Structure 1
Amino acid sequence: MVILPVYRTKKFKIKHMKTIWKLFMFLLTATFALVSCEDDSLDLLTGKYSPPEVYDLTVLGTQDRVKDGPLYTFSINLTDDGSNTLSMTLFSTEYILPASDFTPSNQAANKTYLLGADGTTFNGQQIIDGTISIAAQDSNYTVSGILYLANETVLKLTGAYTYAYEPDPYTPTYTYTDETVSPAMGGAQGATPIDGSTMHKITVYADDVFYAYLELVADENATSLSGTYSVKDGVNAIGQLSNGYYVDLTWYGMAGVMEGGSYYMKGEEKMFIREGDGAITITDNAGIVTITGDNLAILDLEALIGSGGATWSVLETPGDVNVTDATKL
């Protein structure tokens, strides 16, 4: 065993006592900092806003719907047994209030609720933030959300009501254009001529606003567009409708977006028609056409974009098209 000299032992102890002291002070300082940060976080959560007030609103007071341009304004009042009242001003492009999350906005926009003195309130107090979530099953609606009032009150709201919206009685005035190319080009690359055919590129307008674009293959000698057209990915025969598509070129290291084929508008969203069980039927009466289609497979655009172009699936709910008495421009 080696016995160190006394003076070295003292140095060793003094040196390490200093190190331990520095470490202790560091840990103490870090602890104070951590506690301070925690206090700051708690201040953000509990200092400005008190714990939420909870309300369950199950009585439908009033309901109104007004069309203004492309948007419908839904004014809905829900109350509880204590006469607490949620007055909502919601906007949608759909005639029947859709299931969706509605976010705050200072002006009318699809799937938002209005802020301000004439906007959404609770017991007369303006709501300034939060999301109103609405779910629907047939005519049964549920409402939920964490909402913030101008006076810094926090609300945790739930609610339910039943209201049967009537079908939209309004029928727009439809017009269309028809650009033709003979012969129609088809196949996987769209470069193969289809013998004896004409491609009709039909653009439909509802009250002068774009509604649908359809690419269909008809007989080059046909005197009308009447017929039923099946949807085909890569048209190759008369009586087919070109598949709708969407391609973001950044998926392939380039810039831009390519979209085309057949699609229609649902509110502000494009519904790309995909190959499936559905079909488009056209009745052509001396140039005045009616276009109908149901059980249409619709591209799930959100899934496609989210997968970077890997997932070409369709929505669970099929689409439909109903154009009546469209006149040719």
Structure 2
Amino acid sequence: MKTTWKTFMFLIISTLVLVSCEEDTLDPLTGKYSPPDVYDLTILGAQEREKAGPLYAFSLDLKDNESNTLSMTLFSTDYILPASDYTPSLQAANKTYLISSNGTTFNGQQVVDGTLSIALQDSNYTIGGILYLADETVLKLSGGFTYAYQPDPYIPTYTYTDETQTPAMGGAQGSTPIEGSAMHRITVYADGVFYAYLEVVADANATSLSGTYTIKDGVNSVGQIGNGYYLDWSWYGGAGTLQGGSYYMKGEDKMFLREGAGTVTIADNGGKLAITGENLSLLDLEALIASKGANWTNLPAKGSFILTDVTLSN
């Protein structure tokens, strides 16, 4: 009887130990978090937009009816805040929100992680997401606001440099000079940040750059602009990349100009330029890289840009 009782107690204790171990094993896997604090933010408070290099910084305060406040700093390459998922970043980057001592906060507490999802319909925004605060509070947010920025686009201060050389057929590195011409290697900056580089072939005796220029793969005459290019030497068994020719920036992406029906018009007023690109064919860089140099195609959408009051740098 004693043996039976001891065996029975051993089985009970063993079962309890196994259950305890199983629970201890599962806890770290499943995680035990406090339920999130839920807020519906529908009141738009302070709002501001400013240029931050190649990006725009959007500062917004969203509140609920009890004045709980989400203060956000978001970044985008677009002038209008686009619909997207915004992830945390310690520095300015496209489609992120700032986390730092001067970054995004909720009721003054720093946000340290989480994703903000923003949708846009007409001028109306909706927002949602799970955010984590520095004190380990979890927030579940929803809400909406109406776009209220002034419609006039921000116009940066444009400057340029101009280096000249004698171009050759097939490009600056070609072997046959283009008689009576000069290549103007124009680099444009927007608020001091690089924006565009153009290889403009003009008459060597011209007193201004005014004119309408076509894009040419291998320049061979006055009135042309050399196209852009991108090569990855690993496609041919080498190392490194070679990129250049004419291109401009769209946010953080390089838009390489390609031969086509597009034009660049320059109005030169005593060295102050107005530069307009229209109907521009642009290299599909993503397709080129994916094909390892086999697919030299253009983007389906044409490119354009307008640069006004571009002043020569000293």
Same fold (TM over 0.5): yes
Contact 2:112–2:132, Cα closer than 8 Å, also in 1: yes
Q: How many angstroms does 1:98 deviate by?
A: 4.2
Equivalent of residue 64 in structure 1, options 48, 57, 60: 48
Instruction: Look up the equivalent residue of 2:165 and give its one-letter code.
Output: T
Deviations 1:24-75 (A, max 9, x none): xxxxxxxx9xx969954x634432x345555553432321234566654322
Give the greater-gyration-radius structure (CA): 1
1:174 and 2:159 correspond: yes
Instruction: Look up the equivalent residue of 1:161 and give its one-letter code.
Output: F
Contact 2:229–2:244, Cα closer than 8 Å, also in 1: yes
- Correspondence for 1:314: 299
Distance 1:206 1:76, change over 3 A: closer
Q: Distance in 2 between matches of 1:290 and 1:132?
A: 39
Deviations 1:243-270 (A, max 9, x none): 2222222232211111111112344443
Question: SS where residue 61 of structure 2 aligns?
Answer: strand
Equivalent of residue 272 in structure 1, options 249, 256, 260: 256
Instruction: Look up the equivalent residue of 1:198 and give its one-letter code.
Output: A
Distance 1:230 1:138, change over 3 A: farther
Distance 1:262 1:138, change over 3 A: farther
Q: Distance in 1 between matches of 2:148 and 2:280?
A: 25
- Correspondence for 1:224: 208
Distance 1:216 1:43, change over 3 A: same
- Correspondence for 2:246: 262
Corresponding residue pairs, total: 292
For structure 1, which segment, 281-290 or 196-205, has the greater mean C-alpha deviation from structure 2 after superposition? 196-205
Residues 24-63 of structure 1: pairs in structure 2 closer than 5 A: 40=26, 43-47=28-32, 49-50=33-34, 52=36, 55-63=39-47
Contact 1:175–1:208, Cα closer than 8 Å, also in 2: no
Residues 1-329 of structure 1: pairs in structure 2 closer than 5 A: 40=26, 43-47=28-32, 49-50=33-34, 52=36, 55-67=39-51, 72-80=56-64, 83-92=67-76, 95-136=79-120, 139-166=123-150, 167-182=152-167, 184-186=168-170, 193-194=177-178, 196-311=180-295, 312-314=297-299, 316=301, 318-327=303-312, 329=314
Distance 1:128 1:251, change over 3 A: same
Q: Distance in 2 between matches of 1:54 and 1:115?
A: 21
Distance 1:63 1:248, change over 3 A: same
Contact 1:78–1:87, Cα closer than 8 Å, also in 2: yes
Instruction: Look up the equivalent residue of 1:223 and give its one-letter code.
Output: T
Aligned residues with identical type, % of pairs: 62
Distance 1:206 1:108, change over 3 A: closer
Q: How many angstroms does 1:281 deviate by?
A: 0.4
Instruction: Look up the equivalent residue of 1:264 and give its one-letter code.
Output: Y
Question: SS where residue 131 of structure 1 aligns?
Answer: strand
For structure 1, which segment, 74-83 or 253-262, has the greater mean C-alpha deviation from structure 2 after superposition? 74-83
Q: Distance in 2 between matches of 1:128 and 1:168?
A: 32
Distance 1:170 1:286, change over 3 A: closer
Q: How many angstroms does 1:129 deviate by?
A: 0.8
Using the size of structure 2 for normalisation, the TM-score is: 0.74
Instruction: Look up the equivalent residue of 1:234 and give its one-letter code.
Output: G
Using the size of structure 1 for normalisation, the TM-score is: 0.71
Instruction: Look up the equivalent residue of 1:230 and give its one-letter code.
Output: T
Question: SS where residue 238 of structure 2 aligns?
Answer: coil
Q: How many angstroms does 1:286 deviate by?
A: 3.3
RMSD: 3.6
- Which blocks of at least 5 consecutive residues in structure 1 are unaligned? 1-31
Instruction: Look up the equivalent residue of 1:175 and give its one-letter code.
Output: Y
Q: Distance in 2 between matches of 1:243 and 1:59?
A: 49
Distance 1:271 1:185, change over 3 A: same
Instruction: Look up the equivalent residue of 2:70 and give its one-letter code.
Output: L
